[in-house]
């Protein structure tokens, strides 16, 4: 066998292995369209290369090396690091956010006829008409909404209710086992906390100094005296992320996605509360911040702690799970070794992708360029119109999370693509075009709900 044949058949084997990897990945996810396309592309590539190697045709000795050379050069272009990933930019003085400005406060805390209700709308008369129209709509998982079912809607309600009942009081006090604080160095404390959190079920954990700008200024939705200024003196924070199951998220906007949301909020709350309790046993102040009972904003804390980047979607985008995560935070006065914020191409990728914005049924995701919001240059989603669609559909939608290319489940093929898109802008554009080809620009619901979640 001559050198050209050896090189050619080696390339043939590599193409076959790569094709098998991608086809197997898509097949394991039960994604028929991408599996079929990957199989067709692989077969076509192997047929062309095999024909060139088997048939003794003119120019064979330079056509085969030429094709392989072009592929190798193209691979090098998209694999070599060319530019540093853009980081989130702080462009002005950071200001604290009033929790009363969060959309959930208006629909889950203040009640019609109460002094708080009247006080809020005296200060925000422009929101009254919109909110009255939303209040007239069925609630999430309530009769009358599009996804309501008397049998299955109780799944999410049970999870949310338990989370609320378990997390009403989170302000614990130091209770050292030996009557005094345990002295532990910041590096050792961070190592043990991360290990314990992962043992409890966390997918990723990071530690950071608590930026005062990430603490809400006043109590809104969360328990406590409505409107009271929040005084949180903790110096450090622990950010915790757990994944939402891909097989449930891809059913968005149907109700199984909301069941998954509710369950994972319960799970991450459990982890955060145990961690806070553990820190109390060491003699330190600690507070868990979980769904419905926050004193801090979880996403910017998680960005500071190195769990991911803020994307166009307005959520944390993590390297391995994308925005398909739920978060909680524990704040404490225990000094902890800090993790550094990370960049892996999200700012650049979100600028060109737009899939979340294009598919958003309410048009709530920003399609423009990033602007200064509270001192941070970022995209700003519209909470009000997003929540109104939730009430229309009866679920928390989740279409934006579903279509995000970063949301694909971990696996050899997807991990390879994630590695490539960290490298340079060309790799990101190629990955986006490939994702559009394989999954579709606006992926439709292609799978039935799990049998236990089928409507009764």
Instruction: Give the pLDDT of residue 397.
Output: 95
**Token code pair at residue 392:** 């229309």
259 vs 267: CA distance, rounded Å: 12
pLDDT tens profile 343-388: 999 999 999 999 999 999 999 999 999 998 888 899 999 999 999 9
* Residue 343 neighbours by CB under 8 Å, 6+ apart: 84, 85, 86, 87, 309
**Token code pair at residue 127:** 């929101």
User: Taking the chain (456 residues) in consecutive chunks of 10 residues, what is each chunk's mean pLDDT?
Assistant: 77 91 92 93 91 76 78 79 76 87 93 94 95 95 93 96 95 91 96 98 98 96 95 97 96 96 98 98 98 97 97 96 98 97 94 96 95 90 96 95 95 89 89 93 83 90
Instruction: Give the pLDDT of residue 1.
Output: 58
**Token code pair at residue 287:** 């507070």
Instruction: Give the pLDDT of residue 82.
Output: 67
* Residue 259 neighbours by CB under 8 Å, 6+ apart: 152, 155, 156, 159, 248, 453
359 vs 69: CA distance, rounded Å: 39
85 Rama class: left (phi>0) / alpha (psi -120 to 50) / beta: beta
* Residue 363 neighbours by CB under 8 Å, 6+ apart: 382, 385
pTM: 0.93
pLDDT tens profile 151-195: 999 999 999 999 999 999 999 899 998 889 999 999 999 999 999
Instruction: Give the pLDDT of residue 407.
Output: 96
């Amino acid at each position: 066998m001559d050198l050209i044949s050896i090189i050619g058949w080696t390339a043939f084997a590599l193409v076959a292995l790569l094709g098998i990897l991608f086809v197997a990945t898509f097949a394991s996810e039960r994604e028929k369209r991408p599996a079929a396309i990957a199989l067709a592309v692989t077969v076509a590539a192997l047929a062309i290369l095999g024909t060139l190697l088997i048939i003794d045709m003119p120019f064979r000795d330079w056509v085969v090396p030429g094709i392989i050379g072009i592929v190798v050069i193209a691979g090098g272009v998209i694999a070599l690091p060319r530019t540093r990933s853009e980081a989130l930019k702080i462009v002005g003085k950071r200001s604290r956010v009033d929790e009363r400005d969060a959309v959930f406060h208006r629909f889950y805390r203040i009640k019609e006829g109460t002094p708080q209700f009247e006080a809020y709308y005296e200060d925000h008369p422009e929101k009254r008409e919109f909110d009255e129209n939303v209040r007239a709509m069925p609630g999430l998982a309530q009769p009358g909404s599009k996804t309501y079912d008397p049998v299955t809607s109780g799944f999410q309600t049970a999870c949310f209710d338990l989370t609320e009942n378990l997390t009403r009081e989170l302000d614990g006090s130091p209770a050292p086992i030996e009557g005094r604080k345990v002295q532990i160095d910041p590096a050792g404390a961070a190592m043990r906390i991360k290990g314990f959190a992962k043992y409890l079920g966390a997918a990723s954990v990071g530690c950071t100094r608590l930026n005062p700008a990430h603490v809400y200024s006043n109590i809104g939705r969360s328990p406590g005296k409505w409107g009271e200024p929040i005084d949180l003196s903790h110096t450090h924070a622990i950010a915790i992320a757990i994944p939402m199951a891909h097989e449930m998220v891809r059913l968005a906007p149907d109700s199984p996605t909301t069941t998954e949301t509710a369950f994972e909020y319960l799970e991450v709350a459990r982890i955060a509360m145990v961690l806070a309790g553990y820190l109390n046993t060491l003699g330190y102040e600690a507070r868990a911040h979980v769904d419905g009972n926050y004193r801090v904003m979880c996403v910017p804390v998680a960005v500071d702690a190195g769990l991911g980047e803020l994307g166009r979607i307005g959520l944390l985008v993590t390297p391995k799970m994308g925005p398909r995560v739920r978060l909680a935070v524990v704040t404490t006065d225990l000094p902890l070794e800090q993790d550094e914020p990370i960049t892996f191409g999200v700012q650049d990728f979100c600028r060109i992708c737009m899939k979340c914005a294009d598919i958003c049924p309410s048009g709530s995701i920003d399609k423009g360029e990033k602007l200064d919001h509270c001192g941070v240059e970022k995209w700003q989603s519209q909470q009000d119109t997003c929540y109104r669609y939730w009430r229309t559909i009866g679920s928390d939608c989740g279409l934006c999370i579903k279509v995000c290319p970063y949301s694909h489940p971990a696996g050899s093929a997807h991990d390879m693509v994630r590695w490539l898109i960290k490298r340079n802008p060309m790799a990101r554009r190629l990955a986006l075009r490939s994702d559009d080809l394989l999954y579709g620009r606006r992926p439709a619901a292609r799978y039935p709900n799990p049998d236990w979640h089928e409507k009764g």
